[in-house]
Structure formats: C-alpha cells, structure tokens
Amino acid sequence: MGDLSWPEAAGIDLLTCVVVMGITAWVSWRVGRVSVVDVAWGLAFVAVAVVLAVVSGHWLSWLLALLVAAWGGRLALHIFRRSRGHGEDPRYTEMLGDVGFGTVIRKVFVVQGLAVFLVSLPLQTAASHDVRWRWLVVVGVVVWLVGLAFEAVGDAQLAAYRQLPKGSKPQVMETGLWRYTRHPNYFGDMCVWWGIWLAGALSLGWLPGVLTLLAPAVMTYFLAFATGARLLERTMMQRPGYREYADRTSMIVPLPPRG
C-alpha cells in the first residue's frame, strides 16, 4: 500500500459515500424516519476516513481518521441517544411535507451524500499528497480540539438544562457557552472541519489548500443555513422567550451578549 493518486482517492471516497447513504436510505425506509440520516452523517465521514487510511497507508490519513472517528463517533452516539424513542425530526417534516420516498432520497440522501463527499476533500488530499508544512498539521489539530470541546461541553450543558425540574427551568438555555452563541455545537462542528482542512489540505501546500477550500465552506453553509441552525430556528422562534434570547445572542460565532 502507498499513496493514492487524487482521482483514485476521490473514487474511493465517492463509492464509500454511495454505500453508506444507500444503507441509510434502506434503514430509513424500514423504520419510517428520515432523521436516521443525522446519525449516519457522522458515521459516513468515519467510514470515508478509515477506508482512505487503510488503502493509502499514509500517516496523515491515519491521524485524520482518528480525529474524524472521535468527532463522528461522538456525534452519532449523541444524536442516537437524543432521538431514541422520538418520532420524526420537525425539521424534516417541515422541509419535506408529504412527499414520496423517491423524493426523500433525492432531497435528503443524495444531497447529504454529495455533501459528505465535498466536505471530505481534505481526507482525499491527505491520502494522495505529501505534507509540506508540518506546523499546519499541529495548528489544524488545535483548531479541531477547540471545535470538539465546544460540541462536547455545549451538549453536556444542554443535557443538564433539560434535566432540570420544570418549575425551576428557565424558558431558554442561556448559561455557559449558550450565553455567547445560540448554537455552540454547530460552531464546534465548523471548527472541527476547518481544523481538518488545515491539517489535511493546506499543510500539503497552497494548491491543495485552495482546491479543497470548498470543503469547510460547504460544512459551514450546511450548519448555518441549510439543514442546521437556520432551519432549527424556525421552530425555536415559536418557543416563549427564544426570540428575546436571539436578539441578544450571536447565532453561531461566540460573542459577548448584546445589551
């Protein structure tokens, strides 16, 4: 085993995405819930990273596989525990309405499979190029650590809030990280993938970095505007106190509260 060419790495990546999303679509059809794709989202990246590391044998691919497995495994387990025993996610109900499963496949599984492929571009370059600036690998890992910390701490704080007795629970969670951003978990996701881009693409040289800049940009778009924060907030704005919370709190990037 040795370094792959970029077309070979891209082909392996695409095939892995097709297999994972195909299995997820079948599971979704069997259980009658589109939201199972949220659990598969993180696992799809893990599958891509591990397959590329095994085939290429590149030390950077193995490092990224460890980072992606830690992120994707934690995310998948968290979403599975949170959604177990519940019905369909309101985001998908609002987005899809009453459509056939063929339309669901096109709008959800194909779109998310393509998104996994694009976001994992740095995993492809890491499997097919040599490292030029090792210090950027270190910077990328540090950014990744910041992102994972925001996700883990934010999720733990939200879980603790949900366990509070109804009589003493504030209308809106706005302590800890949630005082500075309405979505610390989405901000953490962004940092994770900007860190992976730094370590797996820009560290290889300017050209791989520029050619794969779309990867963290696509992840940022999905988290902020497509299936992430913006879509979730359509539901959250209907809750008492949330609009006032939104008026004084940054949506994604942590900032001091306004007013």
Retrieve residue 159's tokens.
């879980």
Q: Which long-range contacts (CB under 8 A, 24 or more apart) does 206-211 make?
A: 208/125, 208/129, 211/121, 211/125
The distance from CA 219 to its chain's CA centroid, rounded to whole angstroms, is 7
| Sequence-ordered alpha helix ranges (H) in the chain | 6-31, 36-56, 59-83, 90-96, 101-104, 111-119, 121-128, 134-162, 184-200, 206-211, 214-221, 229-236, 242-248
pLDDT at 222: 82
Query: Does residue 1 form part of some domain?
Result: no
More confident: 235 or 133: 133
How buried is 141 (Cβ within 10 angstroms: 0-12 exposed, 13-18 middle, 19+ buried)? middle
Q: Are 189 and 151 in contact (CB under 8 A)?
A: yes
More confident: 123 or 96: 123
How much is the average pLDDT of 152-164? 89
pLDDT classification of 107: cutoffs 50, 70, 90: confident
- Does the structure show a pLDDT above 60 at 1? no
How much is the average pLDDT of 205-220? 93
pLDDT at 80: 85
Query: Does residue 258 form part of some domain?
Result: no
Amino acid symbol at 37? V
pLDDT at 211: 93
| Residue 152 CB partners (closer than 8 Å, separation 6+) | 74, 188
Retrieve residue 28's tokens.
């979704």
Per-residue DSSP letter, 213: T
Query: Does residue 253 form part of some domain?
Result: no
- Does the structure show a pLDDT above 90 at 144? yes
pLDDT at 100: 67
More confident: 219 or 85: 219
More confident: 84 or 45: 45
Query: Does residue 233 form part of some domain?
Result: yes
Query: Which domain, by its residues, includes 221?
Result: 6-248
> Per the structure, how many domains does the chain have?
1
> What pLDDT digit, counting tens, does each position of 53-98 carry?
999 999 999 999 999 999 999 989 988 887 776 666 666 666 665 6
Query: Does residue 259 form part of some domain?
Result: no
Query: Does residue 256 form part of some domain?
Result: no
Query: Does residue 201 form part of some domain?
Result: yes
- Does the structure show a pLDDT above 80 at 103? no
Dihedral sign (CA 203, 76, 221, 143): negative
How much is the average pLDDT of 107-132? 91
pLDDT at 67: 97
More confident: 82 or 255: 255
Query: Does residue 137 form part of some domain?
Result: yes
| Residue 13 CB partners (closer than 8 Å, separation 6+) | 48, 51, 52, 117, 120, 123, 124
Residue matched to tokens 């907030």: 233
pLDDT at 97: 59
